Each structure stands twice: as structure tokens, then as C-alpha cells.
Amino acid sequence: MDYEQIAYEVTDRILTITLDRPEKLNAFTGQMMNEMIDAFDRADADDNIRAIIVTGRGRGFCAGADLSSGSGTFDNRERGGSLDPTKHRDGGGLLTLRIFESKKPVIAAINGPAVGVGATMTLAMDIRLASNEARMGFVFARRGLVPEAASSWFLTRAVGISKALEWVYSGRVFPAQEALEGGLVRSLHAPEDLLPAARAIAQEIAENTSAISVSLSRHMLWKMLGADHPMEAHKIDSRAILALGQGADAHEGVASFLEKRPPQFKMKVSQDMPDFFPWWQERQFE
């Protein structure tokens, strides 16, 4: 796929996906959604990519849905879309569900305003950093809508139910400092320091860890958020330790530690994931 609304750049085994409609504050469109989903598919298939950073071009991260079509922006009667509730799917949700299934860690570098889907798309990402000039908002109630992009699941897990409800009920846009205090972002940075800080995290992953270990760990931690008992985690832990313990990366990890040298991990996510992966049943939209 040729990209028109995002940029895709790989440097030092780190993929940077840049939302690329700066004249529109990177407002979200169906085309942008499709391009981002394709980018995540492409990244999963590329063993050279060890981590993904998502950021925005210009002064905005993402201003939310593109509202240029007017008051009927969300009315499928005017858009010619399906009115069947068993078939219509929210575009933001298609994106966050794809990010949720990523085999590579995902870091959000929120460089400016991130509202609506611009905020909710980041919730499926693993680590969020923000510019101290960024502002965020879950503005749906001010547009006569509800939170989308599966954010009723993601947001409460990120910041807790009380803070999530406060932000959603009010629909207000709040400063980066409040996002930090509420646990929505990990850290704040001067605009010029934001991407270097995100890259430093990505480089630490790329240079020091096993791709198999990180990918499997990502899915274990995310999937266990919904487990009803720690026994479910114990089952997966046990399978994973058994499988990976026999792998070349575990042997190399121990040997490099004992020999006091950097590890040279060789196993590939594309072909060396353990036989039990995935262990969950794919959910269907019904």
C-alpha cells in the first residue's frame, strides 16, 4: 500500500509511524485508519522492526475525526454506510484492536493536541509520552457521541474508573500535566526532546532484549488484564517458560550474562513463536 496520510520510516530497527496531515492537525479519516492498519500488518511481518513509535507531523498529534463533511459526519444514513448494527464497525475500534494484537511494542509520542480518536487510539499503545505542550480530551459527550475505539475497555485500565468517568463525562480538553498526574502518560518532555525520549525507550528494547520474549510478554500482560484468577496467568507462564527455555534465545541470554557481553538474540517473531501461541480464541464481531 502507498501511504498518503501517514509516513513509515524504519531506522535502527525502530519503526516511526507519523500521522501526516499537518494542515488538518492530522485529523483522522478512513484512509488514515486503513493506512495505519496496513502499517501494523507490515511491521509484524518484518523481523527487522523491534519497536514502533507513533507520532504526528507538525504541531498536532491528532485532532480527532475529520469533521469537514459537516453535521452528518457520524450519520451513516448520509455517508451511505450500513445501518445494520451487527455489521457496522467503528473505525477507531478497528485500529485499536489491530494495535492490541501487535507483536511489537508500541510507544506513543504525543507531540500536540490529541482529542477524540486522537486520544483513544493511544490507549492501545504500551507506553505514552507527551510534549508538555500537548493537550488531550475525550470530547465525545460534547459531540453527542460516546467513547469509541474500544476505549471504554482501555481507558479504565489505564487510569482507573473514577478518572476515566470524570474525563468522559465532562468531555473537556485538559493539559499534559493533568494527563501525567492522572496516569495517562508516562512522562512529559520539551517538544524537541519528545522523539529522542521515545527513541531511547525503543532502542533499549531493540538492543538488549529477545524479540520473542518481548512479543510474548506483551500479549501475556495485555491478555491477563481480563483474567478472572491468577491461575490463568500461571498456565501461560508455565507454557511460555517451558517453550522458551528450550530456545536459542534463552541459552544466549544466560550465556551472555555469564560471559559479561551483549546478547546476540537470533529468534524471529515471524517463525519462532511457541506452538501454543496464540492461546486465546479470536473474538468475533456479532
Q: Please, what is the average pLDDT of the chain?
A: 96
Residues 6+ apart with CB under 8 A from 83: 76, 77
Cβ atoms of 173 and 149 closer than 8 Å:
no
pLDDT at 137 over 90: yes
Side by side, the strands of the sheet bearing 6-11 are 6-11, 14-19, 51-56, 106-110, 127-131, 187-189
Q: CA 58 to CA 282: how far, in whole Å?
A: 37
Which position has the higher pLDDT, 87 or 260?
260
DSSP string, 37-80: HHHHHHHHT-TT--EEEEEESTT-SB-SB--TT-TTTT-HHHHT
Is residue 146 predicted with pLDDT exceeding 90? yes
What DSSP character marks residue 241?
H
pLDDT for res 82: 78
The residues, any chain, with a CB within 8 Å of residue 162's CB and separated by 6 or more, are: none
C-alpha distances in Å from residue 285, one per residue of 85, 88, 174, 223, 282: 10, 10, 33, 18, 10
Give the least confident one: 36-40, 87-91, 198-202, 252-256. Answer: 87-91
221's enclosing H/E stretch is: helix 211-223
Domains of the chain: 6-205 (3.90.226.10), 210-272 (1.10.12.10)
For the chain, give the percent of residues with pLDDT over 90: 91
Model confidence over 54-82: pLDDT tens digits? 999 999 999 999 888 787 778 788 777 77
Is the predicted pLDDT of residue 52 greater than 80, yes or no? Answer: yes
Could you tell me the pLDDT band of residue 199, with boundaries at 50, 70 and 90?
Answer: very high
C-alpha cell at 239: 507454557
In this prediction, residue 197 carries a pLDDT of: 98
Q: Is the per-residue pLDDT at 86 higher than 80?
A: no
Mean pLDDT of 114-128: 98
**C-alpha cell at position 278:** 496464540
Q: Provide the grid cell at 221.
A: 500482560
- The three grid cell numbers given for residue 163, joined into one nine-digit string: 478518572
Residue percentage of the chain with pLDDT more than 70: 100
85: confidence class by pLDDT, cuts 50, 70, 90: confident
Statement: residue 17 has pLDDT above 90: yes
